[in-house]
Structure 1
Amino acid sequence: MPKLKRPADEAEVGEDSAEFIESLSRGLRVIEAFGAERRPMTLSDIAKACDLPRATARRVLLTLRKSGYVTSDERLFALTPRVLGLASAYLASNQISAVLQPLMDEVSATAKEVCSLAILDGDDAVFVARASPARVFSAGIDLGYRLPLFCTSVGRVLLGRLDNDELTATIEAMNLAAQTPETIVDKPTVVATIIADRTRGYSLVDREAEPGFRSIAVPIRRYDGAIVAAANIGAHVDRITTGEMIDRFLPPLQRMAKEAQPLIV
């Protein structure tokens, strides 16, 4: 079972700092642990995943249960729907999602595919908005879903915000674990690919993040040109070629990015 790493700034502030609230940090780590495991968890599960003493994990869980964020049958603990309020607060206050959503709806309708929006968070791209075409069923990535930066179209676009030296240092510090047989894990090659993507203004990843799946992404820039997000469209390889993705999906994505830039401050 993977342990949840403490945020980097937690170590920087230090437990003896008056600015740092250790109990709040522990509570948030416990909530995150449920998302990482995707199942109800025992007290021992939580303590191990969060690297906490059992007694501490128990106090955190009881506090979250009292506050309505956790439910329990005295053996297994699970999150309640109230946790969705935390995500709703973020989405409601996030300017990028608010600006992009209607534009993404137009792109999705034009392309007849799911259009998703991701932002940078650590070594991952996190999806914060999604638009689907008007049809009975459409598969796509859920909000809050995380993907590695180095092998995804949105991730490579987001890494393109770094200059060459920063990019090289960032990739060198990453553990590049192959997601599929097609995943590029050679670090100099990954760096060179991201630089090339930055130059041409988009990234197209073919079966590196998921078998049989390819996607194309463009940077979303704010008014001053800084990259703040990435928007993509993906499809299974049996439905579309890479050339068709460039011809069909790239133009509407680029138009959306151009329309959004002066609106994002």
Structure 2
Amino acid sequence: MPFAEDLDPPRTSMGRGFDVLSALADLSTGAPHGVSVRDVALALDRERTQVSRTLSALADRDLVIRGEDHRYRLAWNWYAAAQDLTERRLHSAGLQVLDELAEAVGEACFLGVLQGDSTLTVVESIPAGSGMIGSWVGRAYPAFCSDAGRAVLWDASDEEVRAVFARTSFASPGPNAPVSVDDFLERLGEARALGYAIVDQEAEPDLYSVSAPVWDFRDEVAAGVQVVGERSVLQPRTAQLAAACVAAADALSAALGAPEGLSLIHI
């Protein structure tokens, strides 16, 4: 699959700032007294002077704190800034990944995030011959039966999943939709064992999809990549589509600063 090789994270100031924040956050877990410029530069395999300039700029914006010992610590509001950078890169890098995925498989591809007990489509790529009509961007769908529902809840504990669906009515036009939170949890466990999720006529009749989770720099699931289409067309190609979907999700995870070697079945 081409996705992991072809995707090159942006080398803009936003991208550099994201990378440095991500590295500092990762290194800070084992360095309570702060992290040196040298440590960050080594972690990123970059020039010390470049990293020093980026850290100074982040300090000027109160995203990191520079101590008298010239070591850096995360500021209280770094998380909000990093989250904003994650969302912006999710859209920019996500579109590139989905376009490549859609071209490779010839089917409609979407990127969804969790919003309450629903999934919200934030990016899409729909080839002309896919048969999909209209746009799903900005539209929400119940997570318990949506194409991305299990992907976006991949790393959630049973208690967290129960909290998400505490007020959910498990009613769907799809004949195979989960009928309870326990039913959803069982299917989530099966998806984790596979390494990807299959949603077969859960949202509506004759609709079929495969999906995989996208991880970010916090080692948390940020979104789900989906390939969606007619059941009769997609089901015979499940293995091929799943492999492509997982590769695309892995490429996007790398663009979001996810730890290297992160397993998609990690929970």
Q: TM-score, normalised by structure 2?
A: 0.59
Deviation of the 1:250 alpha carbon: 1.0
Q: What residue number does 1:249 align with?
A: 241
Q: What residue number does 2:159 align with?
A: 165
Deviations 1:35-55 (A, max 9, x none): xxxxxxxxxxxxxxxxxxxxx
1:103 to 2:97 alignment: yes
Query: For the Cα contact (< 8 Å) 2:118–2:143, is it kept in 1?
Result: yes
Alignment CA distance shift 1:115-1:136 (3 Å): closer
Query: For the Cα contact (< 8 Å) 1:127–1:141, is it kept in 2?
Result: no
**3-state DSSP class of the match of 1:143?**
coil
Q: What residue number does 1:193 align with?
A: 187
**Structure 1 Cα separation of the partners of residues 254 and 176 of structure 2:** 37
Alignment CA distance shift 1:181-1:221 (3 Å): same
- Aligned counterpart for 1:203 among listed residues 197, 208, 211: 197
Q: What residue number does 1:259 align with?
A: 251
Deviations 1:151-191 (A, max 9, x none): 12301211223112222333343221232232221331112
Q: Percent identity?
A: 22
CA RMSD of aligned residues (A): 2.6
Deviation of the 1:197 alpha carbon: 1.6
- Aligned counterpart for 1:150 among listed residues 139, 144, 147: 144
**Structure 1 Cα separation of the partners of residues 131 and 190 of structure 2:** 35
Q: What is the number of residues matched between the two proteins?
A: 174
**Structure 1 Cα separation of the partners of residues 159 and 132 of structure 2:** 40
Deviation of the 1:137 alpha carbon: 6.5
**Structure 2 Cα separation of the partners of residues 259 and 130 of structure 1:** 16
Query: For the Cα contact (< 8 Å) 1:114–1:139, is it kept in 2?
Result: no
- Aligned counterpart for 2:208 among listed residues 206, 211, 214: 214
The amino acid that maps onto 2:137 is L
Q: What residue number does 1:239 align with?
A: 233
Please list every run of 5 or more consecutive structure 1 residues that lacks an aligned counterpart in the other structure.
1-89
**3-state DSSP class of the match of 1:153?**
coil
Deviation of the 1:209 alpha carbon: 0.3
